[in-house]
Amino acid sequence: MATFVSVPLKKSSEVDLTRPLSKFVIATYQTSEDQAEYIRAVEELNKLRKNALGRPLDKHESSLEILLRYYDQLCAVEPKFPFSENQLCLTFTWKDAFDKGSLFGGSVKLALASLGYEKTCVLFNAAALASQIASEQNLDNDEGLKAAAKYYQLASGAFGHIKDTVLSALNREPTMDISPETVGTLSIIMLAQAQEVIFLKATSDKMKDAVIAKLANQAADFYGDAFKQCQYKDNLPKEVLPVLAAKHCIMQANAELHQSALAKQKKRFGEEIARLQHAAELVKTVASRYDEYVSVKDLNDKINRALAAAKKDNDFIYHDRVPEIKDLEHIGKAALVKATTITPPLSQKFADLFEKMVPMAVQQSMSIYNQRKAETVNRLVGTMREATNLCNGVLASLNLPAALEDLSGDSIPQSIAEKARSIVQQGGLQSIEQLIRDLPELLTRNREILDESLKMLDSEETTDSELRTKFSQRWNRTPSGELYKPLRAEGANFRNVLDKAVQADQVVKERYNTHCEMITLLCKPESELNAAIPSANPTKTLQGSEVVNVLRSQLAKLDEIKKERETMEGEIKAVTFDMSVSFLTALAQDGTINEEQLSVSQLDQLYGSYNQRVQASLRSQEDLLGQIQTSHQEFSSLKQSNTEANQREEVLKKLALAHDSYVEISSNLWFIFYPLLFLPHYDIVFARKTERDELLKDLQQSIAREPSAPSFSVPAYQSTPATPAAGPTPAPRTVFVSSHSQSQTSSITKADVRLLDTY
């Protein structure tokens, strides 16, 4: 039975994907339908991980399909969630596939908050399982040979892909099993085994000896390359090196055997004997050095029988000269296998759980676009509201329209009555006073949340710095100080917001105190309000006069302008456009998104006409206010001048101003302080603590396993020459086992073990 190398699977710690991903979905997507759909997808992703990594997998295609489906889903989901240490922080812990641990239970593992790390390890497992499935195939039939070749090529492609991407995916030194050197060697080994399977199929199909010889020679070349790569490195278990050396010799021997048959057909009997002698020497070398790993008895017998027959025929019949092997023509090579290209999706049953979710690049562009859109809307709406407030202020200073409604001089003007009812409906004076009373407590609570969040960052960063100082290069994770820079900047922004809030609230309180008396009067019953307004002599002579009619007409036009603004404000707020389509198209076409160019162009199209209408509205108001002031001067000169009338008009002006101030105070009060969104940093700190605990545990176990000494070695991945172990029985199959050296020294002492226990 042929001996083939297969790779053990890596083991992973359990990770809950549901909670952090669901939290991101709820915070990012507004509609309940989107949230429900994506949360279901998150739960399915979590189940998929458990099926792929949370249980032993059979050496069967169905198990490989689960791994590939999970890998495909990771590739699909990566651009759609902000996986990073300072955003969506998920720590994945994986053990070295070739490390079996010590007697004390320690093992080599690495914990990283990196989805790229998770993808790399999952793809490693897919390659490893493919190698195991291939090694289980029955090579005595055609179907088994085809399956083995397919899976070895898949394994080769997966290991090769890891070699090219692992350093950029991790941004730090990986464990030995997924290092570029290790997976690069594994890729060549798997390709060599695929080529060997093709050689076995060609032999089984009784193809021409010339073809079989080239296939065998190519396999020998692949095995030779793999042997050279790991000959002076300890990146693979010690059993692998002798197997590669043996396979190199065996494939060379097979190439010479079939090339000798070709020489016989061409009546080159001396060449036939020379090649068979070389093949016999190669097999003899394998039998003497690597007998415990592979069996060459059948091949040896076949070669010796052919050699004996060839010598006999040549001695008695042909008497052809036997040349030196170095003088013979080189055997050609024929590579009929190649590493499978890793281009997701790899699974035939893959269906993207988050197909409708847009990539993060689009989400980020959408976020910036929404900010630009909000700024545009706020600018237009703010401009109109400013103009309306200015208009109301001017009319209040002129006591309009109350002056026209108060020509009788003894009843509440209709506009004042409406303003009074509006204030009562909004809660009156008690509503504002309650909001003002709540302000200090709300402000204090938000300061406490902010201080507690920053304190958590300080505490974790201090601990990280102490451990980094103590263990130097052994403490190999991103420094907390560097990681928390954007979070501290965010905290400073929140602090600035709170400081500005204090100043703004003081202005609001001062304005409230100025108009408190008049607001109180507007909250009273209509009879009390009427009694509080001074009466005046009737000015009925002005009723029906031309100036009054002109003023009323002008005020009616002004009301139309204000109503048009209210309608326009609703239209502006209701404008919708799905920019995600434009961003997705740009991303697909160019690979990047020029958000500013696309957003500005689209916003100009959406709001350009509204901007023109707003400016036209401002100009119309300015013209009308000029006309109203001119008409009011004429109206005032016609009114009978007396003290009572002046007092009444002054009170009516104050009441109108009080109403406008009430509305503005209510909308501007800082009662909309909700607890700050700084608490999600707890998830990041918690993830960092989990990662720290994992690293501390590994260090403690490593130190505890070392011999007692003032200063001693710490286990590290280093290279030492691998030597084959002795043993009489050849193994039909080879599975990798643990093999790591511990040659790197560090100045960690037993005092460090006690220090580890204090954290």
Across 548-565, average pLDDT: 88
CA quadruple 56, 186, 13, 84: dihedral sign: negative
**Is 5 in contact with 194 (CB distance < 8 Å)?**
no
pLDDT at 739: 33
CATH of the structural domain 364-383+543-640, one choice from 3.50.50.60, 1.20.120.560, 1.10.10.10, 3.30.2000.10: 1.20.120.560
Assess contact for 632 and 478: CB atoms under 8 A.
no
> CA-to-CA distance for 115 and 112, rounded, in angstroms?
8
Question: Mean per-residue pLDDT for 312-327?
Answer: 92
Q: What are phi and psi of 241, to 5 degrees?
A: -55, -50
In angstroms, the CA 10 to CA 632 distance is 88
If you count them, how many residues does the chain have?
A: 759
Q: Residue 276: is its pLDDT beyond 80?
A: yes
- Please give the residue that has the higher pLDDT: either 646 or 219: 219
User: How far apart are alpha carbons 694 and 70 in whole angstroms?
Assistant: 25
Token pair in block for residue 83: 């996986």
> Mean pLDDT across the stretch 366-373?
87
- Across-strand partners of 110? 94
pTM: 0.63
DSSP, residue by residue, 615-664: HHHHHHHHHHHHHHHHHHHHHHHHSPP-HHHHHHHHHHHHHHHHHHHHHH
Closest of 598, 55, 656, 665 to residue 361, by C-alpha: 598
Q: Please say if the pLDDT value at position 757 is more than 80.
A: no
Write down the pLDDT at residue 31: 82
- pLDDT: which is higher, 434 or 380: 380
Hey, which residues does 109 pair with through a beta bridge? 95
CA 694 – CA 105 distance, rounded (Å): 14
Tally Cβ neighbours within 10 Å of residue 145: 20
**Is there a contact between 346 and 309 (Cβ–Cβ < 8 Å)?**
no
In this predicted structure, what is the pLDDT of residue 545? 67
Are the CB atoms for 3 and 128 separated by under 8 Å? no
Cα 217-222-224 angle, rounded to 5 deg: 90
- In 3-state terms, what secondary structure has residue 735? strand
Residues 540, 545, 547, 549, Cα dihedral to 10°: 100
**What pLDDT, on a 0 to 100 scale, did the predictor assign at position 498?**
73
Report pLDDT for 727: 38
- DSSP E strand boundaries for 358-514: none
Q: How do the domains of the chain map onto residue ranges?
A: 11-98+108-327, 364-383+543-640, 685-758
Q: What is the pLDDT of residue 720?
A: 31
**Calpha distance 191→219 (Å, rounded):** 8
What is the H or E stretch that residue 745 is in? strand 745-748
- Residue 711: its pLDDT value, please? 36
Amino acid identity of residue 526, one-letter, is E
The model's pLDDT over 87-132, given as tens digits with 9 standing for 90+, comes to 788 899 999 998 865 444 446 889 888 999 999 999 999 999 999 9
Q: Which of 391-395, 648-652, 740-744 has the highest mean pLDDT?
A: 391-395
SS (H, E, C) 656-679: HHHHHHHHHHHHHCHHHCCCCCCC
Band (67; pLDDT cuts 50, 70, 90): very high
412-445 residue pLDDT tens = 777 777 888 888 888 877 777 777 777 777 777 7
For the segment 608-626, the average pLDDT, to the nearest whole number, is 93
Pick the CATH number of 11-98+108-327 from 3.30.2350.10, 3.10.20.600, 1.25.40.280, 1.10.357.10: 1.25.40.280
pLDDT of residue 367: 81
Q: Which of 296-310, 420-434, 569-583, 734-748 has the highest mean pLDDT?
A: 296-310
Give the Cβ contact number of residue 63 at 10 Å.
20
What pLDDT is recorded for position 705? 55
What sign results for the dihedral spanned by CA atoms 80, 85, 86, 89? Answer: positive
Query: How far apart are the C-alpha atoms of 204 and 322, rounded to whole Å?
Result: 30
User: For residues 408 and 692, which has the higher predicted lDDT (pLDDT)?
Assistant: 692
Task: Look up residue 162 and give its two tokens.
Answer: 């890891």
- Within 8 A by CB and 6+ apart from 510, the residues are none
Q: What is the C-alpha separation between 117 and 527, in angstroms, rounded? A: 77
- Strand duo 712-713 + 745-748: pairing: antiparallel
For residues 400 and 555, the answer to whether their CB atoms sit within 8 Å is: yes
The neighbour count for residue 317, using CB atoms within 10 Å, is 9
Q: Which of 148-157, 444-453, 512-521, 627-636 has the highest mean pLDDT?
A: 148-157
Largest interatomic CA distance in the chain: 153
Q: What is the pLDDT of residue 452?
A: 83
Task: Tell me the C-alpha distance between 406 and 12, whole Å.
Answer: 83
The yes-or-no verdict on residue 729 having pLDDT over 70 is no
Q: Beta partners for 94?
A: 12, 110
Q: What percent of the chain has pLDDT over 90?
A: 44
| Residue 600, token pair as written in the block | 């500005």
Q: Is the predicted pLDDT of residue 228 greater than 60, yes or no?
A: yes
Per the model's pLDDT, the better-predicted residue between 487 and 565 turns out to be 565
Q: Band of the pLDDT at 524, cuts 50, 70, 90?
A: confident
How far apart, in Å, are the Cα atoms of 10 and each of 238, 457, 699, 715, 740? Answer: 19, 33, 20, 19, 16
Check whether 709 has a pLDDT greater than 70.
Answer: no
Q: Which residue has the higher pLDDT, 577 or 155?
A: 155
For residue 93, the surrounding DSSP H or E stretch is strand 92-95
Question: What percentage of the chain has pLDDT greater than the value 70?
Answer: 83
The secondary structure element, H or E, covering residue 510 is helix 485-522
Per-residue pLDDT, 732: 38
| Side-chain-facing half-sphere of 364: CA atoms under 13 Å | 12
- DSSP annotation of 356 reads T
| Coil vs helix vs strand at 315 | helix
- Alpha helices of 669-719 — where are they, by DSSP H? 681-705
Query: Which strand (E) or helix (H) includes residue 744?
Result: none
Across the range 716-725, mean pLDDT stands at 32
According to the model, what pLDDT value does residue 313 have?
93
Q: Between β-strands 92-95 and 109-112, what pairing exists: parallel, antiparallel or unpaired?
A: antiparallel
Cα gap 9→128, rounded to integer Å: 6
Residue 672 scores a pLDDT above 50: no
Closest CA to 273 of 285, 286, 287, 256: 256
Query: Please, are residues 201 and 149 in contact by the beta-carbon 8 Å criterion?
Result: yes
pLDDT (tens digit per residue) in 641-660: 545 556 666 777 788 788 88
Distance CA 392, CA 203 (A): 98
Token pair for 235:
């990146």
Q: How confident is the model at residue 751 (pLDDT cuts 50, 70, 90)?
A: very low
Report the DSSP pairing between strands 734-735 and 5-6.
parallel
**Mean of all residue pLDDT scores within the chain:** 81
Taking the CA atoms of residue 510, residue 511, residue 513 and residue 517 in that order, the dihedral angle to the nearest 10 degrees is 170
Q: Kindly state the helix (H) or strand (E) to which residue 110 belongs, with its residue range.
A: strand 109-112
